Amino acid sequence: MSLSEHAATSARRHIAVVGLGSIGGVIAGTLHAAGRHEVTACARRGIERLIVERPDRTIEARPRVLTDAASADIHDWVLLCTKAQDTASSAPWLQRLCGHGTRVAVLQNGIGHVERLAPFVGPATIVPTIVYYNGERLAPDRVRYRRASDYDFAVSDDANGHAFVELLEGTGMQILVSPDFKTMAWRKLLLNAVANPITALTLQRQGVFRGEDMGALVLSALEEAAAVARADGARVADDEASKLRAMLTTFPPDAGTSMYFDRLAGRRSEVDALTGAVVAAGERHQIATPLCRLLLTLMRAADAGPIPGLMENVK
C-alpha cells in the first residue's frame, strides 16, 4: 500500500451507531475507546457514559449521544444496531444520517439486509454484516462483551466489506472476510430460525434441546430450513442440520436466546426476520416449510399475547 493510499484508508471517520443496546453499546464503546474515529450514539434516551465490560478489561467511553433525529446530520458510516423489527422506526435517524458517500453497516441477524434497508437509506450504500460476538445490556449505560466464536463479525469479500474491516482497525474486533457471505448468513440463520422460537415458546433455556423428542423435532425443522438455504444458493452441506442439532446440545443449558428474553420482557420478537425469512424463501423457491411455518405462526401469536408471568395476566 502506498503512503497516500494508507493516508486515505486511515482517515478519521464520523460514525453514527443507531440503537444503543447489547450490540450497539459494545461497538459504540469499543470504537470510541479505540480513538480513531468520531463516534455518535443515536439512542432513545441519553446517557452520561458508556461502560463496556470485557473479559480482559472494562472500557469507559463518552461518545456524543443524540436522542433526537432532527439534530443528526450526514455521517460517513452508520452502524444500524436495532433489532430487525425496529428498522422502520429507525427511519428518521437514517434519513438524517445518510448521504451519497455514507455506508450503512447492518448489525442485525438474518438474511436480506440490503432488501430490508433499501427503502430507508436513500443514496447510501448498504453493508451487510454477520455479528458473532455476544452482547448483553446490563443497564442503559453498561453492556457486556463476550467473544462467542473465532470471529466477531463476517463481511463480504468486496470493497464495502474491506472498508468495514478498515473502519474497525485498532478495536481488536476479529472480522472474517468471506467470499461466500450468503452461506455464512444462512448457516447462522438456520440455528436462529429454529432454536430461538422453541426457547421463546416453551419459555425454556438451551437445556430444552437435550431431550430426545425435542432433538428429533429440531432436526426435522433444521433439515427443512437447510433445503431452503440450498435452493437459495447457500452451500449448506448435507449433514449441516444434524451437526447443528448436535451443537445445540453442547450449549450451556442455562443460556437463553434473544427471543426467549424478548418474550419474557414482553417485547416483540425478531421471528419475522428469522423464521419468517426461511418461510418466505421457501415460498420463493416452492419448498414446503410446515415446521418453520408452525413455529412462525405460534411465535407471532405469542408476540401478540400477554406477557408471561405477570400476575395481572391471570384473571
Ligand X SMILES: NC(=O)c1ccc[n+]([C@@H]2O[C@H](COP(=O)([O-])OP(=O)(O)OC[C@H]3O[C@@H](n4cnc5c(N)ncnc54)[C@H](OP(=O)(O)O)[C@@H]3O)[C@@H](O)[C@H]2O)c1
Catalytic residue chosen out of the listed positions 83, 188, 243, 315: 188
In the complex, least distance from residue 209 CB atom to ligand X, rounded to whole angstroms: 18
> Are β-strands 134-139 and 142-146 bridged in parallel, bridged antiparallel, or unpaired?
antiparallel
Instruction: Report the residue closest to ligand X, judged by CB.
Output: 21
| 120 versus 209: smaller Cβ distance to ligand X | 120
| 33 versus 107: smaller Cβ distance to ligand X | 107
| 44 versus 49: smaller Cβ distance to ligand X | 44
| 19 versus 276: smaller Cβ distance to ligand X | 19
| 81 versus 117: smaller Cβ distance to ligand X | 81
In the complex, least distance from residue 174 CB atom to ligand X, rounded to whole angstroms: 14
User: Contact residues for ligand X (CB under 6 A)?
Assistant: 18-24, 42-44, 81-84, 86, 89-90, 93, 107-109, 131, 134-135, 137, 258, 270
In the complex, least distance from residue 224 CB atom to ligand X, rounded to whole angstroms: 21
Cell 449433514 sits at which residue? 239
In the complex, least distance from residue 182 CB atom to ligand X, rounded to whole angstroms: 17
Q: Which DSSP string do the residues of 89-151 spell out, in sequence order?
A: GGHHHHHHH--TT-EEEE--SSS-HHHHHGGGSTTPEEEE-EE-SEEEEEETTEEEEE--SS-
Q: Check: CB of residue 165 under 8 Å from CB of residue 9.
A: no
CA 26 to CA 146: how far, in whole Å?
Answer: 10
| 215 versus 261: smaller Cβ distance to ligand X | 261
- Closest by Cα among 194, 253, 248, 198 to 223: 194
Q: Which DSSP string do the residues of 23-47 spell out, in sequence order?
A: HHHHHHHHHHHH-SSEEEEE-SS--
In the complex, least distance from residue 51 CB atom to ligand X, rounded to whole angstroms: 15
Q: Check: CB of residue 22 under 8 Å from CB of residue 137.
A: yes
Classified as helix, coil or strand, 300 is helix
CA 290 to CA 286: how far, in whole Å?
Answer: 12
Cell 401469536 sits at which residue? 301
64 beta partners? 40
| Helical axes 290-304 vs 212-231, angle rounded to 10° | 110
CA 146 to CA 55: how far, in whole Å?
Answer: 7
In the complex, least distance from residue 80 CB atom to ligand X, rounded to whole angstroms: 9
115, three cell numbers: 432488501
Residue 83 annotated in active site = no
Q: Which residues are catalytic?
A: 188
